[in-house]
Amino acid sequence: MPSVKWALEAFVQRLAALSPLSREDISVLLSLPGEAVRLRGNVDIEMPGQGFDHACLVTSGLVARFAQLSDGRRQYTALHIPGDMADIHRVATPLAGSTLQTLATATIVRVPAKNLKRAASNSATITQAFWAYSAVDAAVLSQWAVNLGRRDAKARMAHFLCEMGVCSEHSGDGDRHEFLLEASQGQIGDALGLTAVHVNRTLKVLRESNVVAIDGRIIRIQDWPLLSAIGDFDPRYLQMDPRAVEAA
Amino acid sequence: MPSVKWALEAFVQRLAALSPLSREDISVLLSLPGEAVRLRGNVDIEMPGQGFDHACLVTSGLVARFAQLSDGRRQYTALHIPGDMADIHRVATPLAGSTLQTLATATIVRVPAKNLKRAASNSATITQAFWAYSAVDAAVLSQWAVNLGRRDAKARMAHFLCEMGVCSEHSGDGDRHEFLLEASQGQIGDALGLTAVHVNRTLKVLRESNVVAIDGRIIRIQDWPLLSAIGDFDPRYLQMDPRAVEAA
DNA sequence: CGGAGTATTGAGGCGCTTCAAAGGCGGTGG
DNA sequence: CCACCGCCTTTGAAGCGCCTCAATACTCCG
């Protein structure tokens, strides 16, 4: 049961894994203020066009970053798990118009942007860590673009499930072979650029070939090697997987 | 005719527009060393898996950042015009496996990574500027993901042409209504997640409805309002367009 | 127990891909 | 200098993948 304190610690640990931080940096980051908020599913957290006052630290649940077309359809550009600071990039460019939405019930911590700015201004190593964090985020996004542009529905789904598996394992609850994915099929469609109906059919194919089993929103991956082959999945880009880091 | 000096100046100007830089920062950046290289089209600049020694400053021509599937198909994740530092994000996370390819003949400047690292380490404001630059790059990429996931070929092409128009105008050669796009239809397909054949058909539709005219690789946009309506294009995300910046 | 959101399945249609072939253009070598 | 070759563009025909519309059943919550 991730607490607010846990989420902040996880975030700082991730930063430290990407870029060296001094003991003082870490204590500055751990004492960042923030207001915890609990939200139900399918709620928009930030409105586009508004000023950027607060960054969003995910504490429990799942939060999607998305962009919207003028007709209202959405495309998720990232999914954030507990321990992620979903929109820290806006500290660097407040104009960037990304917006956030909860998938299921989630609790988030609203961290004032000016405190993040100040922390970055006062420590070059913190700025570098934020930059590295944003850069990994962008690397994940570029894999997402490949998924959308060049893979068919089955491969897209397989790649997505592998990514979610590795992330869940890293976030501490569940391992990659069995984890909770708190998203409806329509929301999965917004991640994969598919309709809800086709998400359903695609999952059915994977289920019937005994690659994955689905019980409610629990995903059990029965044949990881096959699934990652179908999705052409290489976990290195996540910079999260201990097994992959070893290999490098 | 963009020179090496011009490209570096354009890059520094762009940085300064995104994040405040001191006079000293600017002179440090302008004296960055680098080796100019001229490359023909369709050449891979960086191989994946190699270490990251040099960043790539585009001086003339067009350079694509891409990811590759195991079957060899490519998806471009960014197109870089003269004045862009194509892979500066790798200074922050060298593990990020983005690779570069020239589209047509291009000249680039290879800037040693360690000089960029040192410049960032010595100045917090330079680090912030690099971070902001990467963040805008990521914002463009997220629009690209929306394009791939949620728009059909015609809208995708329209959005792409609008983006290229604004970028060309900003880079100084041509305006948004008439510019040179040095890419084959197959390469445009790699940007849009389409086959070369369908790129051709899609362009034909746009030509026959008198929205754009194409003469070799010169794009003339005859009806900008209509094209940007078809593509649902809003230039603000580029953080490049003076008219859009005014509006904000 | 009723209602809203979600999952599931079918039928039909369109959009994009694949395969194929012909013509244009520039570069290279005999 | 011209013939040739490779790359690019263009167009056609056929097929499949995904979407749209639609209907039914399930689950959670008030």
Q: B194: distance to nearest CA of chain A, Å?
A: 8
The chain-wide mean pLDDT, for chain B, equals 92
Q: Residue B45: what are its φ and ψ, rounded to 5°?
A: -85, -45
In the predicted structure, residue A185 carries a pLDDT above the cut 60: yes
* Contact yes or no for A146 and B77 at CB 8 A: yes
In the predicted structure, residue B47 carries a pLDDT above the cut 70: no
Chain mean position to CA A243: 20
Whether B51 contacts chain A with CB within 8 A: no
D17 C1' to A94 CA distance, Å: 40
Stretch A224-233: mean pLDDT, rounded? 98
C-alpha atoms less than 13 angstroms from C-alpha of B163 in its C-beta half-sphere: 25
Q: Of B144, B175, B98, nearest to A67 (Cα)?
A: B144
| pLDDT attached to residue A240 | 80
Query: Cβ neighbours of residue A197 under 8 Å, at least 6 residues apart?
Result: none
In the predicted structure, residue B97 carries a pLDDT above the cut 90: no
d(CA A128, CA A119): 11
A74-80 sheet: strands from edge to edge:
A74-80, A63-68, A99-102
| pLDDT attached to residue A48 | 55
Query: Cβ neighbours of residue B71 under 8 Å, at least 6 residues apart?
Result: none
| Nucleotide nearest to A183 in CA–C1' terms | C6
Stretch B119-145: mean pLDDT, rounded? 96
Which residue from A127, A193, A248 is facing B95, i.e. has the nearest CB? A248
| pLDDT attached to residue A2 | 63
* Contact yes or no for B193 and A124 at CB 8 A: no
| pLDDT attached to residue B247 | 52
To the nearest whole percent, how much of chain A has pLDDT over 70?
Answer: 94
Whether B142 contacts chain A with CB within 8 A: yes
Using H for helix, E for strand and C for coil, what is the string for chain A? CCCHHHHHHHHHHHHHHHCCCCHHHHHHHHCCCCEEEEECCCCECCCCCCCCCEEEEEEECCEEEEEECCCCCEEEEEEECCCCECCCHHHHCCCCCCEEEECCCEEEEEEEHHHHHHHHHHCHHHHHHHHHHHHHHHHHHHHHHHHHHHCCHHHHHHHHHHHHHHHHHHHCCCECCEEECCCCHHHHHHHHCCCHHHHHHHHHHHHHCCCEEEECCEEEECCHHHHHHHCCCCHHHHCCCHHHHHHC
C-alpha atoms less than 13 angstroms from C-alpha of A36 in its C-beta half-sphere: 12
Whether A220 contacts chain B with CB within 8 A: no
d(CA A178, CA A219): 6
Q: Residue B131: what are its φ and ψ, rounded to 5°?
A: -60, -45
Which residue from B minimizes the CA distance to A240? B95
d(CA A242, CA B1): 48
* Contact yes or no for B142 and A77 at CB 8 A: yes
| pLDDT attached to residue B55 | 94
- Residue B47 has a CB neighbour count (10 Å cut-off) of 8
Render pLDDT for B193-229 as a digit per residue (tens, 0 to 9). 999 999 999 999 999 999 999 999 999 999 999 999 9
Q: Of A214, A155, A208, nearest to A179 (Cα)?
A: A214
pLDDT category at A47 given cuts 50, 70, 90 is low
Which chain B residues are closer than 8 Å to A141 by Cβ? 138, 141-142, 145
pLDDT category at B48 given cuts 50, 70, 90 is low
Render pLDDT for B150-179 as a digit per residue (tens, 0 to 9). 999 999 999 999 999 999 998 877 899 999
| pLDDT attached to residue B244 | 55
Residue B58 CB closer than 7 angstroms to strand C?
Answer: no
Q: What is the pTM of this model?
A: 0.95
DSSP annotation string for chain B: ---HHHHHHHHHHHHHHHS---HHHHHHHHT---EEEEE-TT-B-S-TTS---EEEEEEES-EEEEEE-TTS-EEEEEEE-TT-BTTTHHHH-TT---EEEESSSEEEEEEEHHHHHHHHHH-HHHHHHHHHHHHHHHHHHHHHHHHHHH--HHHHHHHHHHHHHHHHHHHTSSBTTEEE----HHHHHHHHT--HHHHHHHHHHHHHTTSEEEETTEEEES-HHHHHHHTT--GGGGS--HHHHHH-
C-alpha atoms less than 13 angstroms from C-alpha of B35 in its C-beta half-sphere: 6
| pLDDT attached to residue B2 | 62
Q: Give the type of residue at B101.
A: Q
Q: A81: distance to nearest CA of chain B, Å?
A: 19
| pLDDT attached to residue A51 | 72
Which range has the top average pLDDT, A165-179, B8-22, B46-60? B8-22
Which range has the top average pLDDT, B28-32, B41-45, B236-240? B28-32
Which chain A residues are closer than 8 Å to B132 by Cβ? 92-93
Give yes or no for a contact between B33 and B111, defined as CB atoms under 8 angstroms apart: yes
Which chain A residues are closer than 8 Å to B144 by Cβ? 145
Stretch A134-145: mean pLDDT, rounded? 97
Give, in order, the Cα–Cα distances in Å from A136 to each of A3, A142, A184, B16, B93.
Answer: 25, 10, 26, 24, 7
Cα angle A111, A114, A117; round to 5: 100
Which residue from A127, A142, A232 is facing B98, i.e. has the nearest CB? A142
pLDDT category at B90 given cuts 50, 70, 90 is very high
* Contact yes or no for B192 and A149 at CB 8 A: yes
Whether B195 contacts chain A with CB within 8 A: no
In the predicted structure, residue B245 carries a pLDDT above the cut 60: no
Which chain A residues are closer than 8 Å to B151 by Cβ? 69
β-pair type (A218-221, A178-180)? antiparallel
Q: Give the type of residue at A227.
A: L
pLDDT category at A89 given cuts 50, 70, 90 is very high
Render pLDDT for A196-218 as a digit per residue (tens, 0 to 9). 999 999 999 999 999 999 999 99
Which chain B residues are closer than 8 Å to A142 by Cβ? 65, 67, 77, 98, 141
Stretch A3-14: mean pLDDT, rounded? 93
| pLDDT attached to residue A127 | 96
